[in-house]
Amino acid sequence: MLKFAKNFRVRQSKEAIAAWFQSLQDDICNKLVKMDGAQTFKEDLWERPGGGGGRSRILNDGALIEKGGVNFSAVHGALPENIKNALKVDEEDFFATGVSIVLHPKNPFVPIIHMNVRYFELKGGETHWFGGGIDVTPHLVLPKDAKAFHQHLEQTCNFYSPDYYPKFKKWADDYFYIKHRQETRGIGGIFFDRLGETPQFSHNDRFEFVQAIGNSFVPIYQRLSNDNRLLDFTEDQRHWQLMRRGRYVEFNLVYDRGTKFGLDTNGRIESILMSMPPLAEWQYDFKPKAGSLEAKTLNWLKKDIDWLNHRGESDGFA
């Protein structure tokens, strides 16, 4: 993109951003239905009493996806008091739009994937920023997939700034952390927030980056699911998958800021909690067998693993 052209471009409006997010939801849903091959999405349109609304879409009991949600919303109105405090702002009116995805696959060798892209305005647009990210939670970590996933993210980020991937990868490691388990939720990915205009990056630059992240979702999920969705797994591995989903529940209900905001502000509860797994298990003090892929997985649920340069061949699936 040519630097001098920036000044000639009109700043993308909140309406244009919301419309693009809506088209992203359509595009991702269409492609996920093709990938799944067995089920389609059920749509619920909802309105927010304070202003705006959304389109929640859920796919259940598919061939690839056991339960998945792809939600779009665009809401506005007076900012609730607790959100003002959390954001440390005084402004009264806000606008927020975004797409949120959580997919719980059937096969434990396919990871849980989460993506969120969002845009936020205060003071009628005077203050505005983008946020979002993609992260994956493998039930069983396959290093070559973890490496391919992080490489895909790095390439997407590097097209916009060499600073993005290292910064946003660390942000994801720190954010998706289950403190009481001393485990990361998964192998991370990228997480970013409050990407506003700077001398280096215009509003439109930020939007283009967020669009690139949104558009990377399907190819990433194809890469992570196509090779693995038909792999045989044992009954023990199915139980392990359900226990890992239990950890996902723990993270989302105890730590996730988006979930907390939704619950605190009386959001549409079924849309907020679409991230909950279809089935989850808690076994008291379960310890995987030494040397098993389950035990190795626990070792890989740590911050600051350099997945880009991981050898990647040690999973027996290379």
Residue where the block lists tokens 């939801």: 25
Choice between 230 and 279, CB closer to a copy of itself: 279
**What whole-number distance in Å separates Cα of residue 58 and Cα of residue 293?**
31
Residue 280 engages a copy of itself in binding (rule: CB under 8 A) = yes
Q: Cite the active site residues.
A: 114
**What residue spans of 37-142 are helical by DSSP H?**
81-87
Choice between 6 and 181, CB closer to a copy of itself: 181
What three-state secondary structure class fits 227?
coil
Q: Within its chain, how far is the Cα of 64 from the centroid?
A: 18
Question: Considering only residues 54, 62, 69, 143, which one is a binding residue for a copy of itself as defined by CB under 8 A?
Answer: 69
Mention every residue, 6+ apart, whose C-beta is less than 8 A from residue 143: 300, 307, 310, 311, 312, 313, 314, 315
Question: Considering only residues 88, 90, 284, 306, which one is a binding residue for a copy of itself as defined by CB under 8 A?
Answer: 284
Residue 250 engages a copy of itself in binding (rule: CB under 8 A) = yes
Residue 246 engages a copy of itself in binding (rule: CB under 8 A) = yes
Site string for a copy of itself, 168-187 (x = CB under 8 A): -----------xxx------
**What whole-number distance in Å separates Cα of residue 255 and Cα of residue 11?**
35
What three-state secondary structure class fits 47?
strand
**What whole-number distance in Å separates Cα of residue 304 and Cα of residue 291?**
22
Binding-site size for a copy of itself (CB under 8 A) equals 32
Binding part of the chain for a copy of itself, among 94-102, 127-135, 210-218, 266-274 by CB under 8 A, reads 266-274
Choice between 58 and 157, CB closer to a copy of itself: 58
- Minimal distance in Å, beta carbon 244 to a copy of itself? 14
- Minimal distance in Å, beta carbon 112 to a copy of itself? 14
Q: In the numeric block, which tokens belong to residue 41? A: 């999405």
DSSP state of 145: H
Chain residues binding a copy of itself by CB under 8 A are: 42, 44, 58, 60, 67, 69, 179-181, 242, 246, 249-250, 253-254, 263, 266, 269-270, 272-274, 276-285
